[in-house]
């Protein structure tokens, strides 16, 4: 069996890389034509998610204009089981008020109607499948929802996916889940006497920030600074950390 362990250091993957790993091929292989069926399925599921987002954002406008949208109203759930979310797409969710998939599903998509997201949704040069990266978390969720097996375990062998809440449980010290902050927060927690004590974890994170442990780049009175997936400057404050730790319990 091909040794794919060196891919454990990657957090996100292109569609082709993910497809190759799913069937047990190294993405550097010269036999990538074998990935075609998986790539096609990924592309279809991603396209459905993209289309559903467009409908979710535009249907209220259609209703207000008195336009009948009966033919598409059942296809406007971006979070339907089996839909595939790209890393860039998910980054817009992180920028919104939503904290997880469950709350998005329950509260609808009104607050995702940001100008930037809307512009991205209609820009085919940016939202096309070939331009996307896919996070381990989203690939794992997608595979489980479609009941597909994968030769490569994107989230480790102890992964448990709750399809009702879209939450993933993994063993301690496993690979990153949704964002770049997760690994460094877990590192800080591993150095604490009480890994659920936000104040203690916060102090460890400040120390790691001073050491510039990726993706942390420093800290000040406003919080801990880090670079997100798009190398944009962001700040983590103590309140946000408390919410993360609470959800991790």
CA nearest neighbour of 57 among 76, 79, 84: 76
Looking at the structure, tell me whether residues 191 and 235 fall in a common domain. Answer: yes
Query: Of 170, 194, 226, which one is at a domain's C-terminal end?
Result: 170
As a whole number of angstroms, the distance between CA 63 and CA 227 comes to: 39
Count: domains in the chain: 2
Rounded to the nearest angstrom, the gap between the alpha carbon of residue 195 and the centroid of all alpha carbons in its chain is 24
pLDDT of residue 144: 86
Query: Of 139, 170, 201, which one is at a domain's C-terminal end?
Result: 170
Looking at the structure, tell me whether residues 150 and 192 fall in a common domain. Answer: no
Looking at the structure, tell me whether residues 66 and 97 fall in a common domain. Answer: yes
Looking at the structure, tell me whether residues 162 and 82 fall in a common domain. Answer: yes
pLDDT of residue 11: 81
Mean pLDDT on 29-43: 93
Q: Is the pLDDT of residue 137 over 70?
A: yes
As a whole number of angstroms, the distance between CA 63 and CA 169 comes to: 39
Looking at the structure, tell me whether residues 11 and 89 fall in a common domain. Answer: yes
Residue span of the structural domain in which 9 resides: 1-170
Predicted model pTM: 0.58
As a whole number of angstroms, the distance between CA 186 and CA 221 comes to: 23
Query: Of 124, 149, 170, which one is at a domain's C-terminal end?
Result: 170
Q: Are 241 and 185 spatial neighbours (Cβ–Cβ below 8 Å)?
A: yes
pLDDT in tens, 59-109: 555 555 554 544 444 566 788 889 999 988 877 775 543 444 444 444 444
209-221 CB burial, b ≥16 within 10 A, e <16: beeebebbeebee
R_g of the chain computed on alpha carbons:
19
Name 25's Cβ contacts closer than 8 Å, sequence gap at least 6.
Answer: 2, 31, 32, 34, 35
pLDDT in tens, 226-243: 887 666 788 898 888 887
Looking at the structure, tell me whether residues 208 and 133 fall in a common domain. Answer: no
pLDDT of residue 3: 87
């Amino acid at each position: 069996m091909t040794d794919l362990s060196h891919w454990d250091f990657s957090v996100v993957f292109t569609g082709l890389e993910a497809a190759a790993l799913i069937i047990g091929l190294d993405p550097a292989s010269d036999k990538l034509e074998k990935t075609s069926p998986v790539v096609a399925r990924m592309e279809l599921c991603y396209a459905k998610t993209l289309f559903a987002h467009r409908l979710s954002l535009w249907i209220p406008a259609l209703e207000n204009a008195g336009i009948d949208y009966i033919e598409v109203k059942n296809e406007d759930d971006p979070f339907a089981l089996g839909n595939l979310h790209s890393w860039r797409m998910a980054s817009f969710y992180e920028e919104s008020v939503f904290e997880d998939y469950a709350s998005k599903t329950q509260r609808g998509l009104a607050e995702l109607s940001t100008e930037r997201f809307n512009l991205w949704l209609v820009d085919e040069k940016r939202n096309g499948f070939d331009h996307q990266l896919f996070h381990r978390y989203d690939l794992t969720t997608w595979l489980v929802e479609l009941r597909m097996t994968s030769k490569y375990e994107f989230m480790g062998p102890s992964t448990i996916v709750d399809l009702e809440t879209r939450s993933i449980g993994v063993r301690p010290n496993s690979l990153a889940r949704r964002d770049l902050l997760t690994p460094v927060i877990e590192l800080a927690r591993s150095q604490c006497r009480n890994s659920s004590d936000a104040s203690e974890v916060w102090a460890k994170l400040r120390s790691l920030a001073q050491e510039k442990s990726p993706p942390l780049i420093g800290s000040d009175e406003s919080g801990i600074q880090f670079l997100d997936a798009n190398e944009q400057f962001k700040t983590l404050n103590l309140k946000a950390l408390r919410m993360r730790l609470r959800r991790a319990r």
